[in-house]
Amino acid sequence: MNIHYIANHLNELADSSDTGLRFDSLPITGEVDVLQVTIQTREELPIFVSITDDQILCIAYLWGEEEVRADTRSEMLEAMVEMNIPMPLSSFSKIDDKYVIFGALSVNSSLHDIEHELSVLSDNSLEVINEMADYLI
Amino acid sequence: MSIFKKIITALRGGASEAGEAIVDANATRIFAQEIRDAENHLTKAKRDLTDIMAKQMQSQRELDRIKRSITEHEGYATSALNQGNEALALEVAEKIATLEAELAEQQQSFDSYDKNAKRLKDLVKNTERQLADYQRQLSMVKTTESVQKATAAITDNFNNSNSKLLNAKQSLERIKAKQQNFDDRLQASDELANENSDKALKDKLAQAGIGEQQASASSVLDRLKSKQG
């Protein structure tokens, strides 16, 4: 499994995806290969896919520390920890000063599984921002 | 310090800036080497175990053979005694004594193989457990590093492409607006399609002379004439 294989699949899907979403993917070169996946009408919230030895990581950036309201910060953190289990397939994390939502898949996952993961992750990220907007500036 | 603790300390301490490794590369290499060593030990232990178990099986067969032979000779000795042939019975008894010595010796070998096999099985189990744990820890280090490198690549990409990073609320508003726009367009095109199909049907009906008819000149003239009447 590599990001180009995933990119080709997503780009070829076009209108025929099972999820009803249209994906566009763009490889980003760096020390580690990253695939930037955007979904039509949701371009502002791209998903970044990278592959390690044993897992495929799909990460979407939610908000930065500077966007968090200081007075309800610990309440927000608790809500995020509590939502980790109920939220299907995705979990919360933090990279540097950015809060993220991510899903990890086995490297042996099928392209269909990856497509499903991306779709659920995108839906979750929209809903999370919508529902947690009160904690944000 | 455990790898888990090291990663947490490094992340909490803000050592996660691009280019700065969570666990230094040398430590990761040593760790990877430890894993390879453990794998080699495991392979060797498994091969040794196979050898020992094979020898144990041979020894077991030998024990069975000697035991059968002893039982057989005890039968012979009893028969000789029954016949009153004390000399022959003694000769057989000597044979039995030799067999019993052999049995004791073989039993000792068997016990030794058995003990070794048990020890090796424990060793294999422990090494496998340790190896799985090492691999899990190395995976944590590698994943942390990979995510850092990926983050660096993503950040660079954003900076180079002049894409303005919106805040979360702005992004959501824009997506919602696009979705609304998309829904509106979908609805408009639905309505248009409906109107078109209505019109097409009316046209067909009119052609077939069904429904409202356009007044023809002659019918208008007829109406006027009837009013004059």
Average pLDDT, stretch B216-221?
80
The tens digit of pLDDT for each residue in B156-199 reads 877 766 555 678 888 889 988 888 887 888 788 888 888 888 88
pLDDT of residue B212: 66
Query: What length does chain B have?
Result: 229
**A54 neighbourhood in chain B, CB within 8 Å:** 139
Position B205 confidence tier, pLDDT thresholds 50, 70, 90: confident
* B137 to chain A, closest Cα gap in Å: 12
Mean pLDDT of chain B: 85
CB contact (8 A) between residue A57 and residue B175: no
The tens digit of pLDDT for each residue in B121-137 reads 999 999 999 899 888 88
Question: A3-135: what fold?
Answer: Yope Regulator; Chain: A, (3.30.1460)
Q: Does A97 touch chain B (CB under 8 A)?
A: no
Beta bridge partners of A26: A36
CA angle A123, A126, A132 (to 5 degrees): 130
B153 vs A27: CA distance, rounded Å: 10
pLDDT of residue A30: 82
The tens digit of pLDDT for each residue in B10-54 reads 777 765 554 456 667 777 788 888 889 989 989 999 999 999 999
Q: What are phi and psi of A33, to 5 degrees?
A: -70, 130
Which of A31, A41, A63 comes nearest B149 by C-beta? A31
CB contact (8 A) between residue A50 and residue B16: no
DSSP 8-state code for residue B135: H
Which of B142, B150, B174 comes nearest A44 by C-beta? B174
CB contact (8 A) between residue A133 and residue B175: no
Instruction: Out of A110-119, B3-12, B67-76, pick the least confident.
Output: B3-12
Q: Does A91 touch chain B (CB under 8 A)?
A: no
pLDDT of residue B18: 47
Q: Does A50 touch chain B (CB under 8 A)?
A: yes
Residue in chain B nearest A50 by alpha carbon: B150
Contacts 24+ apart (CB under 8 A), B28-37: B28/B138, B28/B141, B28/B142, B31/B134, B31/B137, B31/B138, B31/B141, B32/B138, B34/B134, B35/B131, B35/B134, B35/B135, B35/B138
pLDDT of residue B206: 80
- Mutation target among B154, B170, B182 for the A interface, most CBs of A within 10 A: B154
User: Environment class of residue B74 by beta-carbon count within 10 Å: exposed (0-12), middle (13-18) or buried (19+)?
Assistant: middle
| Both structure tokens of B38 | 């453990």
- Sign (positive or negative) of CA dihedral A36, A37, A43, A44: negative
B4 vs B119: CA distance, rounded Å: 31
Chain B residues whose C-beta is within 8 A of a chain A C-beta are 16, 139, 142-143, 146-147, 149-154, 156-157, 166-172, 174-175, 178-179, 182
Count Cβ neighbours within 10 Å for each residue of A28-44 and write b for 16 or more, e otherwise: bebebbbbbbbbebbeb
Which of A31, A63, A95 comes nearest B168 by C-beta? A63
* AA identity, residue B60: Q
Instruction: Out of A43-52, B22-31, B151-160, pick the least confident.
Output: B22-31
Q: Does A81 touch chain B (CB under 8 A)?
A: no
A93 vs A101: CA distance, rounded Å: 6
Contacts 24+ apart (CB under 8 A), A108-112: A108/A1, A109/A1, A109/A56, A111/A5, A111/A6, A111/A9, A112/A18
Task: Give the domain ranges of chain A.
Answer: 3-135
Return the higher-pLDDT residue of A117 and B1.
A117
